[in-house]
Amino acid sequence: MAWTYLIIAGVLEVVWAIGLKYTEGFSRLWPSVITLTAMVLSMFLLSVALRTIPVGTGYAVWTGIGAVGAGIVGMMALGESRDPVRILGLAMIIGGVVLLRAKSGAH
């Protein structure tokens, strides 16, 4: 169950990372509410997952999901660069997350 919480926390990290763009410095109410709610829920679920998952692994997976997810959303929905080197970098992050998950076992 810890890994499920960690994955949901990572997806919520993507929500708040993208949401920051729409808050306009936290000057817009609803984007700010959504972003702050996603932040709190993401941190809470991360903390629950870290009861079982080693902190180094959990934090790396959480930030990896956030970085890759925000990168993909940026490319697909926000018109950000799809440069091959950028895609390779995201693929390398995914590879690192997979290796961490494989090494940490079935906790």
The predicted-structure confidence for 3-19, as pLDDT tens digits, reads as follows 999 999 999 999 999 99
The total number of structural domains that make up the chain: 1
Q: What is the pLDDT of residue 101?
A: 83
Mean pLDDT, the chain, rounded, equals: 95
Structural domain of 84: 2-104
Q: Are 46 and 9 in contact (CB under 8 A)?
A: yes
| Other Cβ atoms closer than 10 A to 18 | 19
Tokens 């941190």 found at:
43
Q: Which ranges of the chain would DSSP assign to H, the alpha helix?
A: 2-23, 29-49, 55-77, 84-104
What is the reported pTM?
0.90
C-alpha 51/C-alpha 101 separation (Å) is 16
Using only C-alpha atoms, what is the Rg of the chain? 15
Tokens at 81, concatenated: 């660069």
